[in-house]
Amino acid sequence: MPHPSRRGVIASGLAATSLPTLATPALARATAGAPAPWGATPSARQRAWHERQQYAFIHFSINTFTDKEWGYGDEDPVLFNPTDFAPDQIVAAAKAGGMTGIILTAKHHDGFCLWPTLLTERCIRNTPYKHGKGDIVGEMAAATRRAGLAFGLYLSPWDRHHPDYGRPAYVDYFRKQIVELCTRYGALFEFWFDGANGGDGYYGGARETRKIDAPAYYDWPTTIALVHKHQPMACTFDPLGADIRWVGNEDGVAGDPCWPTMPNHPYVQSEGNSGVRGAPLWWPAETDVSIRPGWFYHADEDGKVKTPERLLKLFDESVGRGTNLNLNLPPDRRGRIPDTDAAVLKSFGAAQATTYATNLALGAVAHASAERGAAFAAAHVLDGNSDSYWSTPDAIHTPTLTLDLPPGRSFDLIRLREHLPLGVRVTRFAIDAEVDGTWQTLAEHQGIGAQRIIRLPRPIAARRLRLRILEAPACPAIREFALFRQAAPVAVVPSTRTDPTILSTAGWRIVAASAPGAEALLDDDAATRWTTPAPGAGKPASVTIDMGQQVRLGGISITPSRTLDTGVAPPRDYSCETSTDGTHWEAAGAGELANIAYALATQRLAFARPRPARWLRLSFGATAVPAASLALAGVGGFIAPR
């Protein structure tokens, strides 16, 4: 994959074990007079996946205990020691948020395995957890199924620990891991292959950089077929040949529109966000994002949990555009979802449950400018049956469908769905409302697909509502035309930072910088940033900071800006020096800022040894991707425990 990064059913109460019956293309064609499918169409497992809408990603591993996002591969397994691992609490928090499934990181890039595999010693067997007798994957699978949710797994193809990574022997090891995970833990709804592959690592002590040609190295068709051999209903993510694709960012925002079709060539990030209309592959997007800035738990992010209102916006920008939302919920070092995160999920889930409990279009009368026949009447958009739909004769591509609404009902959400076994047929459409005897256009968009949710700026009470198909290559097949009123989520009091090792930047000041505005690095606000011309050979970007007092410094943190513009990028790597007097400097640390350009997550960089320091000097030699300017949102520090 070219990108180095990996990366509802909401309130209707749809559980993973009770997905609605899905019509097959063969059944649709067998119905007298049914339209022929147009373009690419989804497989049975893809149609089941579309119905799930939103589920939880659980990043929990040795990184949770090292405060890293990407482990290097040399971490001692004994570091993994949750004090109160509670899989039922994790699953309950996800379910309260309306999640329909759980995807657990069974192995991240550092190679540590959360199940008791005999393929490597780098696994849960060699940790203090349950004296080496635990199985995090098995315990999470059991808790997920007790809650009636679906279970899935993440397995990083990259392994920064394994000595044979980059050689054929590793691929054999990797596939044996796939078989173990696919045969030990029951039915899986998704199997996640990260796009991050190759780079520097421990590699059994070699400590070197290894580059691979991922499509050739993993032989993805064979690897994906191995998953489907053991798990025929598990959708694979995300190389060419997989069932679902990456949306192209880790911000939770799909393109508008976001077509489920893609060209039959290796993934291109610029295409992945919006898809390609009419392309030959049904390769729909999954939109992934974390409830916190990072993917793993970090105590310094306790005050940066997304609000319920932000989750509503993410829902609109993902599920509302026909993709599935994969919302990351990182357990803390106890092995539990933190209280604030759980409260946010409960508030969001309750609001969505109330919102989507009642379809305000029920009781309306539907009529259309054309109907294919009684089996495809306009009324089918109101019957709640996923197998029925409204359609027109083959020659009529741009009809209208009107709902005569019961009086006194106000709504601010409109949901449309196409009948996916017949393909994505609508290219462009408009929604009109008759209010006080006057028609007005409420919205015009491209694409409906799995679903399109339109949020109005305020509730309206319309006498009639009209769907106009403006452009389509074939007659429509509209499964649903529904209306809802958004319930407001209960406010959640933000958490405060409680880790005493994290230094406050309130007393820090900028002494020198390669560009003005570096004070933004110290305001603890990720929305502000320092921008400096991109560094070049012999001309690093740099900033010098007076921390105001001498501390026993254990390391630093570097936070990239999440509001990057074209031509602006975070740094690729860093070097740090410290001083006790502002005159004499010592090297403290240097290295890569892993995945910073794509995950845009805080990097926590521990020094090899604690050191007395009052002054910091940070230098950056290059941007992570080619850009005219370098930008950072924040710099911090943490003291070393005695």
Q: pLDDT tens digits for 204-247? A: 999 999 999 999 999 999 999 999 999 999 999 999 999 999 99
Q: Does residue 30 have a pLDDT over 60?
A: no
- Distance separating alpha carbons of residues 67 and 336, to the nearest angstrom: 16
Residue 564 carries which DSSP code?
P
- Distance separating alpha carbons of residues 198 and 3, to the nearest angstrom: 11
Question: Has residue 234 been placed in a domain?
Answer: yes
Question: Has residue 370 been placed in a domain?
Answer: yes
- Distance separating alpha carbons of residues 296 and 154, to the nearest angstrom: 14
Q: Does residue 5 have a pLDDT over 50?
A: no
- Distance separating alpha carbons of residues 509 and 545, to the nearest angstrom: 6
In which band, very low, low, confident or very high, does the pLDDT at 181 lie, cut at 50, 70 and 90?
very high
Q: Which single residue is written with the structure tokens 């939880």?
A: 56
HEC letters along 60-120:
CCCHHHHCCCCCCCCCCHHHCCCCCCCHHHHHHHHHHCCCCEEEEEEECCCCCECCCCCCC
**What mean pLDDT is predicted for residues 496-518?**
90
- Distance separating alpha carbons of residues 79 and 266, to the nearest angstrom: 38
* pLDDT for the residue 32: 54
Name the residue among 370, 613, 421 with its Cα closest to residue 503. Answer: 613
Give the C-alpha distances (Å, rounded to integers) separating 631 from 555, 563, 596, 604, 634. 21, 10, 12, 17, 10
319 and 417 in a single domain? The answer is no
398 and 542 in a single domain? The answer is no
Question: Has residue 24 been placed in a domain?
Answer: no
In which band, very low, low, confident or very high, does the pLDDT at 12 lie, cut at 50, 70 and 90?
very low
Give the C-alpha distances (Å, rounded to integers) separating 510 from 313, 476, 558, 567, 569. 36, 61, 15, 25, 22
The domain spanning residue 114 has which CATH number? 3.20.20.80
* pLDDT for the residue 624: 92
Q: Which of 304, 324, 355 is the last residue of a domain?
A: 355
Phi-psi region at 388: left, alpha or beta (left = phi > 0; alpha = psi -120 to 50)? beta
- Distance separating alpha carbons of residues 574 and 18, to the nearest angstrom: 50
Q: Does residue 9 have a pLDDT over 50?
A: no
* pLDDT for the residue 25: 42
* pLDDT for the residue 597: 82
Question: Has residue 329 been placed in a domain?
Answer: yes
Which residues make beta-bridge pairs with 200? 209
237 and 110 in a single domain? The answer is yes
Q: pLDDT tens digits for 77-114? A: 999 999 999 999 999 999 999 999 999 999 999 999 99
Name the residue among 262, 297, 296 with its Cα closest to residue 281. Answer: 262
Side-chain-side CA neighbours of residue 545 (13 Å): 27
Q: What is the DSSP string of 410-471?
A: -EEEEEEEE-GGG----SEEEEEEEETTEEEEEEEEE--TT-EEEEEEEEE--SEEEEEEEE
459 and 321 in a single domain? The answer is no
476 and 519 in a single domain? The answer is no
182 and 76 in a single domain? The answer is yes
Residue 630 domain boundaries: 509-639
Q: How many domains does the chain have?
A: 3
Which residues make beta-bridge pairs with 590? 575
Q: Which of 304, 334, 355 is the last residue of a domain?
A: 355
497 or 363, which is more confident: 363
Q: pLDDT tens digits for 246-299? A: 999 999 999 999 999 999 999 998 899 999 999 999 999 999 999 998 999 999
Question: Has residue 360 been placed in a domain?
Answer: no
Question: Has residue 33 been placed in a domain?
Answer: no
Q: pLDDT tens digits for 47-62? A: 999 999 999 999 999 9
Global pTM value:
0.89
- Distance separating alpha carbons of residues 331 and 325, to the nearest angstrom: 19
What six digits make up the tokens of 349? 């889930």
Residue type, 329: L
333 and 384 in a single domain? The answer is no
81 and 199 in a single domain? The answer is yes
351 and 380 in a single domain? The answer is no
The domain spanning residue 578 has which CATH number? 2.60.120.260
Q: pLDDT tens digits for 405-431? A: 999 899 999 999 999 999 999 999 999
- Distance separating alpha carbons of residues 123 and 141, to the nearest angstrom: 17
Is residue 49 exposed (0-12), middle (13-18) or buried (19+ Cβ within 10 Å)? buried
Question: Has residue 519 been placed in a domain?
Answer: yes
CB atoms closer than 10 angstroms to residue 194: 22
Q: pLDDT tens digits for 366-396? A: 999 999 999 999 999 999 999 999 999 999 9
- The pLDDT > 70 percentage for the chain reads 94
480 and 592 in a single domain? The answer is no
What six digits make up the tokens of 385? 């049956």
Question: Has residue 428 been placed in a domain?
Answer: yes
Q: Which of 424, 449, 484 is the last residue of a domain?
A: 484
108 and 255 in a single domain? The answer is yes
464 and 528 in a single domain? The answer is no
